[in-house]
Structure formats: structure tokens, C-alpha cells
Amino acid sequence: MEKRILGKSGLEVSAIGLGCMGLSFAYGPATERTDAIKLIRSAFEQGVTFFDTAEAYAQGANEELLGEALAPFRDQVVIATKFGFEGGDVQNGVNSKPANIRAVTDAALKRLRTDRIDLLYQHRVDPDVPMEDVAGTVKDLIQQGKVKHFGMSEAGVESIRRAHAVQPVAALQSEYSLWWRKPEKEILPLLEELGIGFVPFSPLGKGFLTGAIDASTGFDKSDFRNIVPRFSEENRKANQALVDVLKQIAAGLHATPAQVALAWLLAQKPWIAPIPGTTKLHRLTENVGGAAIELTPANLSDIDAQLANIQVQGERYPAHLQARVGK
């Protein structure tokens, strides 16, 4: 698979990574461990070298899973994880106090079975901790050799600038896809200016852009999408128009909607590396195939033109979670 460099950091990753959250957390019951390890290792065999996890994904269980799965080829992959929630539980609110960052990093190193974290993100900006203190703490961890690169997630322009002035930010991880394009307004120009890579999560719209979800789809009671306004039955019905257009475009390219959605992201900037997640081997292979599709300027113009008049319905987060992003 094509490799990409995240901004000016020098950090090389596969063009498409693997978001591992859903194997343990947020999208229904956790995947059976042996199946999850098989999927992670299959991703590596198919050229994926960029793996994303966090303390907050089942309070460290996802990190432990990734550590076991990647142990045989640790030196050939890039592992990204995150700190920033009290006790590793998103329900408890944010905590980016320096002491917590250091403690979480040490715990993550053990769970991941490694001596360094390639990319350590602040999961969400903590309004109670100056960004200079956060970046300074990660800078210390980098000097100690425990961390290689610093990242941020769902941060706003001011926070990114303040952090970057203390410790260069290698990558920003935020939601970006054909049905969430707000980063194009302020975030992408800032990242280009500062030389920061972009790692879009939910590049397939939490599964919606695959075409496998419609108004009649039922989710497990523990599935996060049950509380996402964009996934209400009414909004799924309205948003089907976007998927229908994507399906038509994909058919003309002999690809799937998911592959076109990923190829579209890759075509936006050479320093973008999306991290779709999945629990299914066939979907993994499908997603990896998105890296092989090259969209021409004409293709990209066609996609923009056909989607321009479609207004996506519903917020991407419920209010209490929306309050944590863009800070």
C-alpha cells in the first residue's frame, strides 16, 4: 500500500490505517478476542501499518488487544493512542493534567507491550489545563523516549496553534468525510500552514457511507449510534440521498461506495491518512482497496457537483459530546 508522511513530522504511515475502537467499544458487543487479533493481523498482511487506539476504548482493553495482536511485528507498525479522560472513561469527563498524562502513558506502554508510543494524542482538549502544560508534558515524554510524536484530536484552531508553539503537533485526528466537511473551512488551511498531518476518523460516516445502513437498520442497545442525532430513523431516511448518489458514482468506477469515500479523502491532501474501523474481514479488504483507487480531477468535480445540493440532516454528536469538540 502507498505510504504517506503526516505533515512535516517525518512520521510515515500507510495511506489507510485501522481504527480499532469498534473492536472493543461503542459499536455493540466487543469482538471475540481471537477474531479481533485475526483482523488486526490481516490488516498488517494487507499493507496497513497505522493502528489507532485509546485508553478510553473500554478503559485500556483495546490497547491490550492491540498490544497482543501487533507484538510479532511491533517494529514494522505505527501505534497511535490517546490520553485525556478521567480514569479512561468518557463518562467521567476530561483530564489532561500533567500527572495524569504521565500515568496514562506509562500504563499504555505496558498494555501495548512496547517501549514507545509512536503517536500520542490528547483525546479532547481540557479547558481546565493550559494547552502549554499539555504540550510541555508530552514534550518531556518525547525527550524521555517514551513517545515519538504528539497529536491532538477534535481540537480547535487556537488550541492547535498554542500546542504547536510548544511541541510540534504531528497530526490532528478529527472527523472528516463526505458527510462531514466542516474541517475544510478552518482546520485544513491551518494544518497546511503549520505542516501538520490529518487523520480523519469515521471516514465512512460511522458506517453510513458504506450503503449497508438505511432507515430500517436496528442497532445493538449498546451501540453509540443510538444517541447520535444523525442516525435517528428520520435522518437516516433523509440522508439516504447522499448514499444513493455515492452508489451511482461508485458503480461507474467499478468500486464500492466505501472505496470511493476513502479515495475521495486521500485525494484531498497528500498528508491525509484516514483510519476506517471494522469488525469484518471482508470490509477490511474492501477498505484497503480504497487506497488503490485514483480519482481524477473530473471525478472529484463530479462528486462535488452531485453532492452539492444534498443537505445532510442531523448533528454528528448529541449535545453533551458536541460540547467537547472544536475547543
CATH number where 115 lies? 3.20.20.100
72 vs 62: CA distance, rounded Å:
17
Number of domains in the chain: 1
CA end-to-end span of the chain: 34
- The conformation of residue 30, written as its DSSP 8-state character, comes to P
70 vs 63: CA distance, rounded Å:
10
List all residues 6 or more positions away from 224 whose beta carbon is below 8 Å from its beta carbon: 26, 27
Is the pTM of the predicted complex or chain greater than 0.95? Answer: yes
Which of 27, 57, 121, 176 does the annotation list as catalytic?
Answer: 57
Range of the domain at 192: 3-322
| Sequence-ordered alpha helix ranges (H) in the chain | 33-45, 61-70, 98-111, 131-143, 157-166, 187-194, 233-252, 257-268, 281-289, 297-307, 319-322
Q: Does 57 qualify as catalytic in the annotation?
A: yes
Residue 90 lies in a domain: yes
Per-residue pLDDT of the chain (327 residues; tens, 9 = 90+): 999 999 999 999 999 999 999 999 988 889 999 999 999 999 999 999 999 999 999 999 999 999 999 999 999 999 999 999 999 999 899 999 999 999 999 999 999 999 999 999 999 999 999 999 999 999 999 999 999 999 999 999 999 999 999 999 999 999 999 999 999 999 999 999 999 999 999 999 999 999 899 888 999 888 889 999 999 999 999 999 999 999 999 999 999 999 999 999 999 999 999 999 999 999 999 999 999 999 999 999 999 999 988 999 999 888 888 888 888
**Short-list 203, 230, 222, 215, CA closest to 316:** 230
Helix (H) or strand (E) holding 152: strand 147-153
List all residues 6 or more positions away from 182 whose beta carbon is below 8 Å from its beta carbon: none
One DSSP character per residue, 105-122 reads HHHHHHHTT-S-EEEEEE
Residue 327 lies in a domain: no
